[in-house]
C-alpha cells in the first residue's frame, strides 16, 4: 500500500471490512479485478460513474469514498419517503456484524452509565475485543466474584446517508475475561485495538439476546 492516496486506502478499507476478494469486489462493481487493484495502489481518483459503482459495491457512499463529510455528524437530513422499519432475526443480525470493525459497548461503569467504542471480531459465535489489563474498563467489567460476569450491551450500526437507510444490531450478554489458558483460542480472531497501545486483555461477549432493526424504503 505504498505510493497510493486516500481514495485508494478507502477502497481497500471497505473491501477488507466486507471481507471481499478483489474478484468479488470486481463482480459487484462490474469491473475487472485488475482495475480495482490498480485503484487501490495508485494515486488519483477515477470519474464519478466509477466512484458511484464502487461505493455501491462496497456498501458505502460516494462522499465517504472521496473523504468528504468526515467532520459532519450523520443523519442531519429528513427520513426517506414512507420508510419501513424491519425487525431482524438473530441469524441476520449476526450475519451483518460478521465482517467485524468498530462497535460500542455499554455498561454501568464506576462513574455511571458508560459507552465506549471498541474494535471487535465475531469468533466462534462470540464478540471478541481487547482492552488494557488492569485499566478502567478491565476493572469496571469485573464483579469480584468467581464465575460471575457483568452483563453488558454491544451495538453496531451502518448508515447509508445517500439512500436514507441503514441497520442497527444490539447484543446483550456477559463480559467474560478470557483467562491465559484460553487466549490461544481467541487470538485466532486476529482482533487488534483500533486505539493501539498495550491492550492484551481479551474480553468475550457470548450473546444471550440478539435484536436488530433495518430501515429501508418500500
CA distances (Å), 6 to each of 2, 53, 58, 82, in order?
A: 11, 18, 16, 36
Q: Are 172 and 151 in contact, with CB atoms under 8 Å apart? A: yes
pTM of the model: 0.68
pLDDT of residue 208: 96
For residue 196, give the H/E element and its range: none
CA angle 54, 97, 134 (to 5 degrees): 120
Phi, psi of 56 (to 5 degrees): -65, -40
pLDDT of 179? 87
Q: End-to-end alpha-carbon separation of the chain, Å?
A: 41
- How far apart (Å, rounded) are the C-alpha atoms in residues 170 and 213? 9
Q: Provide the pLDDT for residue 144.
A: 82
For every one of its 218 residues, what pLDDT tens digit does the chain have, with 9 covering 90 and above? 334 568 888 899 899 888 999 999 999 999 999 999 999 998 888 899 999 999 999 988 888 888 765 556 666 666 667 788 899 999 999 999 998 999 999 999 988 999 999 999 999 999 999 999 888 899 999 988 887 889 999 999 988 765 678 899 999 999 999 988 888 888 888 888 877 778 889 999 999 999 999 988 65
Domains of the chain (ranges, CATH numbers) = 6-65 (1.10.260.40), 84-216 (2.30.110.10)
139: which 3 cell numbers? Answer: 476493572
> Which pLDDT score, from 0 to 100, does residue 78 have?
63
Amino acid at each position: 500500500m505504498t505510493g497510493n492516496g486516500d481514495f485508494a486506502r478507502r477502497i481497500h478499507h471497505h473491501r477488507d471490512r466486507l471481507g471481499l476478494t478483489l474478484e468479488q469486489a470486481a463482480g459487484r462493481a462490474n469491473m475487472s479485478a485488475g482495475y480495482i487493484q490498480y485503484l487501490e495502489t495508485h494515486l488519483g481518483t477515477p470519474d464519478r460513474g466509477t466512484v458511484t459503482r464502487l461505493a455501491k459495491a462496497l456498501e458505502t457512499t460516494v462522499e465517504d469514498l472521496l473523504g468528504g463529510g468526515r467532520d459532519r455528524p450523520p443523519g442531519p437530513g429528513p427520513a426517506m419517503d414512507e420508510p419501513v422499519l424491519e425487525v431482524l432475526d438473530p441469524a441476520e443480525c449476526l450475519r451483518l456484524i460478521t465482517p467485524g470493525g468498530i462497535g460500542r459497548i455499554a455498561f454501568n461503569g464506576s462513574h455511571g452509565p458508560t459507552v465506549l467504542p471498541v474494535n471487535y471480531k465475531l469468533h466462534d459465535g462470540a464478540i471478541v475485543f481487547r482492552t488494557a489489563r488492569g485499566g478502567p474498563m478491565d476493572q469496571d467489567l469485573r464483579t469480584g466474584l468467581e464465575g460471575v460476569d457483568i452483563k453488558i450491551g454491544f451495538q453496531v450500526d451502518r448508515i447509508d446517508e445517500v439512500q436514507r437507510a441503514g441497520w442497527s444490531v444490539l447484543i446483550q450478554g456477559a463480559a467474560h475475561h478470557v483467562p491465559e489458558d484460553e487466549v490461544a483460542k481467541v487470538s485466532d480472531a486476529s482482533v487488534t485495538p483500533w486505539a493501539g497501545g498495550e491492550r492484551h486483555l481479551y474480553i468475550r461477549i457470548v450473546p444471550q439476546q440478539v435484536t436488530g432493526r433495518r430501515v429501508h424504503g418500500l
